[in-house]
Each structure stands twice: as C-alpha cells, then as structure tokens.
Amino acid sequence: MGNMKLNLKIWRQAGPNDKGQMKDYPVSNVSEDMSFLEMLDVLNDDIVRKGEDPIAFDHDCREGICGSCSLFINGEAHGPGKGITTCQLHMRRFKDGDTIHVEPWRSAAFPVIKDLATNRGAFDRIQAAGGFVSVNTSGNLVDGNAVPIPKDDADKAFDAATCIGCGACVASCPNGSAMLFTAAKVSQLSLLPQGKPERKRRALAMVEQMDKEGFGNCSAIGACEVECPKNISLEHIARLNREYLAATVTKE
C-alpha cells in the first residue's frame, strides 16, 4: 500500500428516481501504482466492512477496450490524460492531498441506474438501426482478397472502428450530442467497399434513431474529440455530415 491521502467527493444516487448528492470519502494509503478503479475497490472494501452500501460503478476488462467504465473525474470524462479510459488512469497522475470529484455521465439519454452506473442502451439502438452491413452468415462468400482495399482506406476505417462505445463523447458535449459515436460507425462502413451499397440508408436511419433517443445537436464544439479515449477524430463527423447530406438530397 502507498501513502497518498485523498479527499474524494463521489456522487451517490440510490436509484433512477432518487435525487442524488455528492458525498465525502477521505481515503488514505493510496499507492501511485493503483488504477483509479483499484482505488475505488479499496474504498468499497472498506465500506462493505463497515456494513454500508458500496459505490456502484460499471467496469469490466480494466484494460481500456470494453467501454464499460465511465466516470466524470474532476470535470473530465475518464479523468485527466488523453487517450485513456478510467480503468487506465493511474493514481500517479494525482498528488497527495488532492480533492477529486467523481460523477456519472450526465446526459438525459443515459439515465443513472445507481450511483455512477448509467444506462447506455441508446447506443445499442442506434447501432441496431443501421450500424451493420446486411450480409448473412454463409460459408460461400467471396474471398477476402477478391476486393483489394487501399491501405489508406482500411487504416482510416480501422481508426473509426476503434470506438469503444463508452459514451465519453456524449458526456463531454455541452449539447449531449452522440454525433461522434454515430459518425464513427457510419464513417467506418462508408470507407469500405462492403459498406457502400447501403450507405445512404445507414446514415439516414442511424441519425434518425440518434435524434429519437434524445441526444442533442452537434455544434462542432470539439469537446468529444478531446475527451475520446480512442482519439476518434472530428473528421468522422464531417464525413457523416457529407454522407447524410448526400443521402438526403438524393432521397426519393
């Protein structure tokens, strides 16, 4: 165990209908090698031993790829540091005596389940609206090398496809927009030949679902790009806008 002392101020909310409030938790013996979530584990261990209700938060892989973890830490999605998720945030980024505010994603489209855990089902519904190539499973498809894809396109598509669906973009956006998330999928598939046949339908359907879920509009502020743990670029939003515009003007 280490010897850092911290003052945590953590959002506690018993359920979706509870008002919720910030609560103080002083912690000590924090080691700089701990991840932020391991620090919360130690706090929860203590809370359980006292017979109280531990702090609920989502997490799973703890290596920055599953997209489960969230947390707004000192006003930043996934806390300080670029290109990392909360589970990759280590305590060496903080100083002894620091006060740290920990809150859930704040968005009307991501209602709080309990404490720091929110419901991000809206992202699944956007995906279900059109975030796919309509191809069934078959053992007789064309060979993977039948259609060469320029390396540059494949690389760009990959960059967009690295989105982990964590919701940091929505939480960071003053408008609560889900454009970066939606754009990443639309962009990935529109860059690849396999995704081109249904690109119009896809852009229209995903944007329509996004609006239906209650996400706000994009006004090109760019906070999403700054806070995205996978550094997904705003360029993809530009590409979505082009796709959407093209689909709208040629719509029958």
Cα distances from 203 to residues 35, 131, 193, in angstroms, run 38, 9, 16
Query: Which residues on adjacent β-strands are paired with residue 7?
Result: 26, 99
Size of the site for other proteins (CB under 8 A): 79
**Does 246 help bind other proteins (rule: CB under 8 A)?**
no
Q: How far apart are CA 18 and CA 11, in angstroms?
A: 12
Stretch that binds other proteins, among 19-27, 39-47, 219-227, 232-240 (CB under 8 A): 39-47
**Does 197 help bind other proteins (rule: CB under 8 A)?**
no
Report the nearest approach of other proteins to the CB of residue 228 (Å). Answer: 14
Going residue by residue from 109 to 148, which x/- string records binding to other proteins, judged by CB under 8 A? ----xx--x-xxx-xx--xxxxxxxxxxxxx-xxxxx--x
Stretch that binds other proteins, among 17-25, 59-67, 172-180, 211-219 (CB under 8 A): 59-67
Return the residue of 165, 176, 216, 229 that touches other proteins, per CB under 8 A: 165
Stretch that binds other proteins, among 17-25, 35-43, 171-179, 236-244 (CB under 8 A): 35-43
Return the residue of 4, 6, 8, 37 that touches other proteins, per CB under 8 A: 37
Return the residue of 63, 96, 208, 211 that touches other proteins, per CB under 8 A: 63
Return the residue of 23, 158, 208, 248 that touches other proteins, per CB under 8 A: 158
Q: How far apart are CA 252 and CA 245, in angstroms?
A: 13
Return the residue of 4, 6, 8, 67 that touches other proteins, per CB under 8 A: 67
**Does 243 help bind other proteins (rule: CB under 8 A)?**
no
Return the residue of 17, 49, 249, 250 that touches other proteins, per CB under 8 A: 49
Stretch that binds other proteins, among 87-95, 101-109, 210-218, 221-229 (CB under 8 A): 87-95
Q: How far apart are CA 252 and CA 248, in angstroms?
A: 9
Return the residue of 195, 218, 227, 234 that touches other proteins, per CB under 8 A: 195
3-state secondary structure the chain: CCCEEEEEEEEECCCCCCCCEEEEEEEEEECCCCEHHHHHHHHHHHHHHCCCCCCCCCCCCCCCCCCCCCCEECCEECCCCCCCCHHHCEHHHCCCCCEEEEECCCCCCCCEEECCEECCHHHHHHHHHHCCCCCCCCCCCCCCCCCCCCHHHHHHHHHHHCCCCCCHHHHHCCCCECHHHHHHHHHHHHHCHHHHHHHHHHHHHHHHHHHHCCCECCCCCCHHHHHCCCCCCCHHHHHHHHHHHHHHHCCC
User: Residue 54 or residue 222: which is nearer to other proteins going by CB?
Assistant: 54
Report the nearest approach of other proteins to the CB of residue 22 (Å). Answer: 20
Query: Which residues on adjacent β-strands are paired with residue 72?
Result: 77, 103
Report the nearest approach of other proteins to the CB of residue 201 (Å). Answer: 12
**Does 17 help bind other proteins (rule: CB under 8 A)?**
no
